[in-house]
Structure 1
């Protein structure tokens, strides 16, 4: 299970949290999701970073966010088990005018090779999916447990707060990185994009 760190144990953690919670949908998801009884989960990726970038661009925090990603881990990799969780989440947040994408990270290796023609590797916690994002900048998870917020940020928070997109070549998915940053730059032209390395270590 990925436990993350308390906000005050993460450099710039309080600033990050304050900005992310200015998006009312982030706040609502974090407040409610614990009701489902899933232990290992994170709100992650674009909805966190893009809330910050919107604020930096003097726009509403919720502006131009396509979806809200929730990662969880359940060793039950049956399709219908995940589908039941998707249905419960849809019901729990049916009053929100947003699209929520929730995926069991234990199932990712099943479909990843077919989609990208590379092996994803073993998954033992929800944070494993965050570790393998194509970009370190948005490899961040946030959750609320017993009224305490926790942050999972293996590459820190400096890049997301500064609007600098840094690649994470742990998987050879240069094209995924390029396509995503191209879409982001159209919405947030002030983002600074670092190139994918020619010879990843």
Structure 2
């Protein structure tokens, strides 16, 4: 059960462990450094590239196992056009051309404009990048990091880190995203059988 060695360790200890894991992984550090090179406003590296890497490190798997892409987000409400976002996406594509995993870049100030049409449900306008995690279908996935100007790594996790370190996939019913939670949970369980899947709440 060594993969659970940080479960229940407390927020400070878990943040230190996560920062240590991130710093040990060149693919994550290159993305964090690239985000700063692009000078993105309110940037975060979020979701699978982080929690999947943690699970791989703690279970001794190759570090890129199960990682489809890296989600890099920023918040710029000065221009909500797709054209502006696309310019940033193109700059990022050049910056991350050598990454071993694809890097997807999205402006969180625009999500409420396209989310209802794509997913069939309303989405509130956000005020900063980290707010996106409040609406993730799964609380476990709500973890993000940023490389600060002083070289420190800040961790953003509104629901804490114990689900991730406890290998629990826990739903977040903030939006009616049951299908998303269940599909992602099933995929993750097939890759990391150590996971416990918490069912979507009923009623």
TM over 0.5: yes
CA distance in 2, matches of 1:67, 1:138: 14
Q: Name the residue aligned to 1:31.
A: 33
3-state SS, counterpart of residue 29 of structure 1: helix
Which residue, out of 95, 100, 105, partners 1:97?
Answer: 100
Question: CA separation of 1:68/1:98 partners in 2, compared to 1, >3 Å: closer, same or farther?
Answer: same
Q: Does 1:195 align with 2:194?
A: no
Alpha-carbon deviations, 1:17-44, whole Å to 9, x = none?
A: 1123333211111122111122301100
Question: CA separation of 1:103/1:69 partners in 2, compared to 1, >3 Å: closer, same or farther?
Answer: same
**Preserved CA contact (<8 Å) 1:10 1:151:** no
Which residue, out of 165, 176, 181, partners 2:180?
Answer: 176
CA distance in 1, matches of 2:12, 2:160: 8
Q: Does 1:121 align with 2:138?
A: no
Q: Name the residue aligned to 1:82.
A: 85
For structure 2, the residue ranges without an aligned partner over 5 or more in a row are: 1-10
Please tell me the root mean square deviation across aligned C-alpha atoms, in Å: 1.4
Query: Normalized against structure 1, the TM-score is what?
Result: 0.90
> What is the Cα deviation at residue 11 of structure 1?
4.6
Alpha-carbon deviations, 1:152-173, whole Å to 9, x = none?
A: 1111111111211111111111
Select between 171-180 and 12-21 the one with higher mean Cα deviation: 12-21
- 1:1-201 residue pairs with structure 2 within 5 A? 10-75=12-77, 76-146=79-149, 147-199=151-203
3-state SS, counterpart of residue 142 of structure 1: strand
CA distance in 2, matches of 1:114, 1:37: 30
**Preserved CA contact (<8 Å) 1:24 1:62:** no
Query: Normalized against structure 2, the TM-score is what?
Result: 0.89
CA distance in 2, matches of 1:42, 1:49: 14
For structure 1, the residue ranges without an aligned partner over 5 or more in a row are: 1-8
**Preserved CA contact (<8 Å) 2:111 2:125:** no
**Preserved CA contact (<8 Å) 2:135 2:172:** yes
